[in-house]
Amino acid sequence: MAKDMTLLWGSGSAPCWRVMITLEEKQLQGYNQKLLSFDKMEHKSQEVLDMNPRSQLPAFKCGKHILNESYAACFFLENQYKSQGTKLIPDSPDAQALMYQRMFEVLTFHQKMVDFVAYNYRVPEGERHDSAVQRNKEALTAELKLWEGYLKKTDCCLAGKEFTLADVVFFPSATFLFRLGLSSERYPALTKYYNSLKDRPSIKATWPPHWQTSPGSDMLKTI
């Protein structure tokens, strides 16, 4: 089953991590996998290009099916292996509606986070434009307030009591926030959520390997 699957992935990539968490939750360990280095531009290799014309990771093949979009891979795996492992799409219409809503909101949240981080990484401190810094900061802060509010209302997971695909896609981005020094005092609900899931077996088993050896930063400490 899993032997018929191949994942090309990069360490620290939230989209790759989503697919890996889903594979673990669906008890599909034993798939073929190859860790590629973004630093060495291995995602631009012919091997990736053959699976993904955008040369991006993840590149995932399941039998004859190629799924390069992390959301597509997660939905496909859940639907193909519905009765195996964790049920990641709830039956109740209320929980399902909330799950879909949060899942797609994650795309906006993730983009705002990437915009903030990418600007700080790419533009040296002395060359940053105040207006751009302020714009990115306001956009990310507004997102964080939203997610803090959502998580305040739940004891466990984004769509209720069960761990669902909403958590699969949100958790990798949420973890990135803490790696970049997000304040636990200012964001207690996000912190509680992060702490309650970080040791979940599917998450622990797929933790980005280079994070064990490379430090994070305090880029988000004033957010």
Min separation Cβ 194 and ligand GSH, Å: 20
* Sign of the Cα pseudo-torsion (137, 142, 144, 145, in order): positive
- Residue closer to ligand GSH by CB (options 34, 192) is 34
| CA–CA gap between residue 113 and residue 134 (Å, rounded) | 13
- Residue closer to ligand GSH by CB (options 58, 160) is 58
Per the CB < 8 A criterion, the answer to whether 16 and 70 are in contact is yes
Per the CB < 8 A criterion, the answer to whether 19 and 68 are in contact is no
Min separation Cβ 50 and ligand GSH, Å: 15
- Residue closer to ligand GSH by CB (options 16, 95) is 16
Per the CB < 8 A criterion, the answer to whether 35 and 7 are in contact is no
* Sign of the Cα pseudo-torsion (102, 104, 108, 113, in order): positive
What values do phi and psi take at 172, rounded to 5? -60, -40
Min separation Cβ 176 and ligand GSH, Å: 10
Min separation Cβ 17 and ligand GSH, Å: 9
Beta-strand pair 5-10/32-36: parallel
Question: What b/e string do you get for 121-138 counting C-beta neighbours within 10 Å, with b at 16 or more?
Answer: eeeeeeeeeeeeeeebbe
Min separation Cβ 155 and ligand GSH, Å: 29
- Residue closer to ligand GSH by CB (options 98, 168) is 168
Min separation Cβ 83 and ligand GSH, Å: 26
- Residue closer to ligand GSH by CB (options 188, 209) is 209
The distance of Cα 55 from the centroid of its chain, to the nearest Å, equals 19
Specify the amino acid at residue 147: W
Q: Which residues bind ligand GSH (CB under 6 A)?
A: 10, 13, 15, 43, 55-58, 69-70
Per the CB < 8 A criterion, the answer to whether 32 and 7 are in contact is yes
Min separation Cβ 186 and ligand GSH, Å: 26
- Residue closer to ligand GSH by CB (options 43, 112) is 43
- Residue closer to ligand GSH by CB (options 11, 191) is 11
